[in-house]
Amino acid sequence: MDTEIAALKAENESLKQQLREQGQLPMSLEEFKRYGRQMIVQETGGVEGQIKLKNSRVLVIGAGGLGCPCLPYLAGAGVGQIGIVDNDVVETSNLHRQVLHNSSKVGVLKCESAKDVLVKLNPHIKVDTFPVRLDYSNACRIFQGYDVVLDCTDTPLTRYLVSDVAVNLGLTVVSASGLGFEGQLSILNFKNVGPCYRCFFPVPPPPNSVSSCQEGGVIGPCIGLVGVMMAVETLKIILDSYTLDNFKPFLMQYSGFPAQSLRTFKMRGRQATCLACGENPSITRDSIERGHIDYELFCGKRDYNVCLPHERMTVDEFQKSFLKTAELNHILLDVRPRHHYDISHLPNTFNLTVKELRDMDGDMSQLKREIPTVGAQSEVLVLCRHGNDSQLATRILKDQFHLKNVRDVKGGLFKYIDEINPAIPKY
Partner 1 sequence: MVSVKVEFLGGLDVIFGKQRTHKLNVPSNSGEEVTVGTLIDYIVEKMIKNAGDKCVFIENDSVRPGILTLINDTDWELEGEKEYVLEDGDIVSFTSTLHGG
Question: How many Å apart are CA 381 and CA 394, to the nearest integer?
Answer: 8
User: Of the candidates 116, 47, 34, which has an alpha carbon nearest to the alpha carbon of residue 76?
Assistant: 34
Of these residues, 68, 213, 222, 299, which one is catalytic?
213
The only residue of 140, 267, 371, 420 in contact with partner 1, by rule CB under 8 A? 267
Neighbours of 125 (CB within 10 A): 19
Q: How far apart are CB 183 and partner 1 at their closest, in Å?
A: 7
Question: How many Å apart are CA 27 and CA 25, to the nearest integer?
Answer: 5
Question: Residues 305-344 vs partner 1: string with x where CB under 8 A?
Answer: ----------------------------------------
Flag whether 70 is marked binding: no
Q: How far apart are CB 150 and partner 1 at their closest, in Å?
A: 10
Question: How many Å apart are CA 173 and CA 302, to the nearest integer?
Answer: 28
Flag whether 96 is marked binding: yes
Strand ranges, E, within 47-91 = 57-61, 81-85
The gap from C-alpha 102 to its chain's centroid, in whole angstroms, comes to: 18
Cα within 13 Å of Cα(199), Cβ side? 25
Q: How far is CA 208 from CA 74, 205, 212, 250, 304, in A?
A: 35, 8, 11, 27, 10
Collapsed DSSP state (helix, strand, coil) of residue 231: helix
Binding of residue 265 to partner 1 (CB under 8 A): yes
Q: Which of residues 92-121 bind partner 1 (CB under 8 A)?
A: none
Helices marked H in 239-372: 285-289, 295-299, 315-317, 338-341, 354-359, 364-370
Stretch that binds partner 1, among 40-48, 155-163, 235-243, 328-336 (CB under 8 A): 155-163
User: Of the candidates 369, 374, 381, which has an alpha carbon nearest to the alpha carbon of residue 408?
Assistant: 381
Binding of residue 264 to partner 1 (CB under 8 A): yes
Q: How far apart are CB 66 and partner 1 at their closest, in Å?
A: 5
Instruction: Based on the residue annotation, tell me whether 68 is a catalytic residue of this protein.
Output: no
Q: For residue 395, give every residue at least 6 positions away whose Cβ sits within 8 Å of its Cβ, in sequence order, or none.
A: 306, 307
Question: How many Å apart are CA 410 and CA 313, to the nearest integer?
Answer: 6
Our CB check for partner 1 shows the closer of 152 and 332 to be 152
Q: Helix, strand, coil: what percent of the chain each, to 5?
A: 45, 15, 40
Binding of residue 155 to partner 1 (CB under 8 A): yes
The only residue of 96, 126, 268, 338 in contact with partner 1, by rule CB under 8 A? 268
Flag whether 262 is marked binding: no
Question: Residues 178-217 vs partner 1: string with x where CB under 8 A?
Answer: xxx-xxx---------------xxxxxxx--xxxxx--x-
The only residue of 38, 44, 56, 62 in contact with partner 1, by rule CB under 8 A? 62
Instruction: Based on the residue annotation, tell me whether 384 is a catalytic residue of this protein.
Output: yes
Peptide bond into 26 cis (omega under 30): no
Flag whether 362 is marked binding: no
Question: How many Å apart are CA 238 and CA 241, to the nearest integer?
Answer: 8
The gap from C-alpha 220 to its chain's centroid, in whole angstroms, comes to: 12
Our CB check for partner 1 shows the closer of 125 and 152 to be 152
Flag whether 353 is marked binding: no
Binding of residue 176 to partner 1 (CB under 8 A): yes
Phi and psi at residue 291, to the nearest 5°: 80, 20
Binding of residue 255 to partner 1 (CB under 8 A): yes
How many residues bind to partner 1 according to rule CB under 8 A? 47
Binding of residue 397 to partner 1 (CB under 8 A): no
Binding of residue 149 to partner 1 (CB under 8 A): no
The only residue of 290, 358, 368, 369 in contact with partner 1, by rule CB under 8 A? 358
Binding of residue 302 to partner 1 (CB under 8 A): no
Binding of residue 177 to partner 1 (CB under 8 A): yes
Flag whether 115 is marked binding: no
Q: For residue 368, give every residue at least 6 positions away whose Cβ sits within 8 Å of its Cβ, in sequence order, or none.
A: 374
Binding of residue 72 to partner 1 (CB under 8 A): no
Binding of residue 391 to partner 1 (CB under 8 A): no
Flag whether 277 is marked binding: yes
Answer for the pair 63, 114: CB distance below 8 angstroms, yes or no: yes
Our CB check for partner 1 shows the closer of 199 and 383 to be 199
Q: How far apart are CB 179 and partner 1 at their closest, in Å?
A: 4
Our CB check for partner 1 shows the closer of 361 and 419 to be 361
Tell me which residues are annotated as active site.
213, 384
Binding-site residues from annotation: 65, 86, 93-97, 110, 154-155, 196, 199, 274, 277
List of residues contacting partner 1 (CB under 8 A): 62, 64-67, 151-156, 159, 176-180, 182-184, 200-206, 209-213, 216, 218, 223, 251, 253, 255, 263-268, 355, 358-359
